Amino acid sequence: MRNVRSQFVGLFLFLGALTMVLTNGFWPRIHADAQEDLVRQIEPIGVVLDEIMRNYVETPDTDKVVEGALTGMMNALDDHSSFVPPTVYRELREETEGKFDGIGIQIKLDAEKNIVVFTPMPGSPAAKAGVLAGDIIVAINGIDTKGMSTEDAKDNIRGESGTVVTLKVFRPGKDGAAGEYKEIAVTRGKVPVPSLLESRVLDGGIGYIRISDFKQTTARDLAEKLKELEEKGMRSLILDLRWNPGGLLSSSEEVASLFLKKNTLVTYTKGRKHDDGSVQDEMTLYTQREPVVPDDYPMIVLVNEVTASSSEIVTGALQFHKRALIVGAKTFGKGSVQTIIPLRTPKNSALRLTTALYYTPADVTINKHGILPDVDVPFDRELWMPILEQFGKSWENDITKQDAQNHGAVTGDVKTDATIEDVQLAKAVEILREEGNFQNLLNKYHKDTKITQVAAADPSPSTPREEGPVQEASAAAPGQEAPVETPTPLVPGAAQ
């Protein structure tokens, strides 16, 4: 009983410390204004914890109780605020930086539920050690993978750089030959995670680039790719932000800077308004450089119902400033900003706290409302996963074909009964082939942003949505504000 009581005391002190963190430690102000009310309000938490510690059928796991309490508190705020446990916090930082500790393979489950290597990333530790696409992983450090999920496999494969993981793989034979088992020791290292999923020049000099999310490295990689495609004859551009859940707020400004004139407004944010008139988390983002492509360069941005957050910021800015036509479907409407706040305890955890709303240059927040495209092209949601799988199968066994993914007839691929046509990309290509003068295309297709960018009736982040993807991890570095990501599988596998 003494140990249980000591755990309870520690837990109660932790909650007190957490309250200090969440109130910026302003206990003198609280004492002067509302300390008594605050203590009365949080009293039920202590009562419930006391009952748990005294009377639960088994000795409670204090860490789990604390995590559950924190999770509940954050979930009570809005759909995007959350408690970030240590494992998720580590992955969040890796996503933001655009690299992680691992061996650099993408895996999937085959029809027999085997863990199969989808592809090793070029230059990765796995590729250097001899892991090949199609290898079936039967054991990881001696642990049988039978019945193992891709998430469990990921957890077993990943580890600190410099450590070794041993994979036992079955390599199927070719042309009817017998397969063979191999044991491959791979030294883990830092593996880059690019945010550019594919890029190419289509017929007619139309450049095409698809971006998965917005990381620290996205703008740099995009600038390099634009230069490369121009050298290959690109004369117009389609920037595909479909299924792009967003990421870093700073990255959206950097990407917009590649296309808009220097000192052009990209977005601004507003947080809580205080009694003295000041506004918390108020900032304004302008482009910081001259564009890397000419102003009259014809450009289309593809969007859909999962285009969210930072990708909506870029969409809104390019549409408002008439730098691109927007084609596709109404965007998600994720107009709030989250700040990642590291916690001292639990160790290596954090809070993802909604601190502001962002506004487009049209002076509206599109939170829970989204942005309407200039050209509406519906695409059945039931076809999303099949077409994403179609993209992935294009380079499943040959990573050099990543930039030649199958979008159907628009990319010149042979049509079969199973082929899904990318009608949104096809419409974008059709528009760009109509006219080489971008101003003429704008005159024909661009809609007034008073129609396409309209403020929601109730933009508050706590208002529940009727539909939309589940909100999960955000891509933000400690202390940075970043719209929350809405992860969607982009290839049939997870990177390890």
**Catalytic entry in 309, 310, 311, 336:** 309
Distances (CA, A) of 351 to 283, 354, 404, 476: 21, 10, 40, 11
Q: What's the pLDDT score for residue 202?
A: 97
Report the distance separating Cα 418 and Cα 430, nearest Å.
Answer: 23
Active-site annotation holds for 347: no
**Catalytic entry in 215, 225, 330, 334:** 334
Name the pTM for this structure: 0.81
270 in Cβ contact with 354 (< 8 Å): no
Report the candidate in 287, 77, 106 with the shortest Cα–Cα distance to residue 193. 106
Q: How many CA atoms lie within 13 A of 12 on its CB side?
A: 19
Q: What's the pLDDT score for residue 492?
A: 36
Q: What's the pLDDT score for residue 480?
A: 31
Distances (CA, A) of 3 to 7, 53, 54, 60, 347: 6, 10, 11, 11, 21
Report the candidate in 406, 226, 242, 461 with the shortest Cα–Cα distance to residue 330. 242
- Looking at residue 483, what DSSP letter applies? P
Positions in the chain whose pLDDT score sits under 50: 1-2, 4, 20-27, 29-32, 463-494
Write out pLDDT tens, residues 196-250: 999 999 999 999 999 999 999 999 999 999 999 999 999 999 999 999 999 999 9
Report the distance separating Cα 57 and Cα 66, nearest Å.
Answer: 18
Question: Which residues lie closer than 8 Å to 476 by C-beta, 6 or more apart?
Answer: 92, 96, 247, 248, 338, 339, 340, 352, 482
Pairing verdict, β 336-343 and 481-482: antiparallel
Q: What is the DSSP string of 247-303?
A: B-HHHHHHHHTTTS-TT-EEEEEE-PBPTTS-BTT-EEEE--S--SS-TT--EEEEE
Maximum Cα–Cα distance for the chain, whole Å? Answer: 81
Q: What's the pLDDT score for residue 16?
A: 55
Q: Which helix (H) or strand (E) holds 354?
A: strand 349-359
Report the candidate in 317, 408, 323, 328 with the shortest Cα–Cα distance to residue 374. 328
Q: What's the pLDDT score for residue 15?
A: 54
Mean pLDDT score across all residues of the chain:
84
Q: Where do the domains of the chain lie, and which CATH numbers do they carry?
A: 2-76 (no CATH), 100-192 (2.30.42.10), 196-495 (3.90.226.10)
Report the distance separating Cα 439 and Cα 446, nearest Å.
Answer: 10
| Helices 249-256/310-320 angle, 10° precision | 30
Active-site annotation holds for 225: no
The one-letter code for the residue type at 199 is S
Report the candidate in 233, 222, 238, 345 with the shortest Cα–Cα distance to residue 291. 222
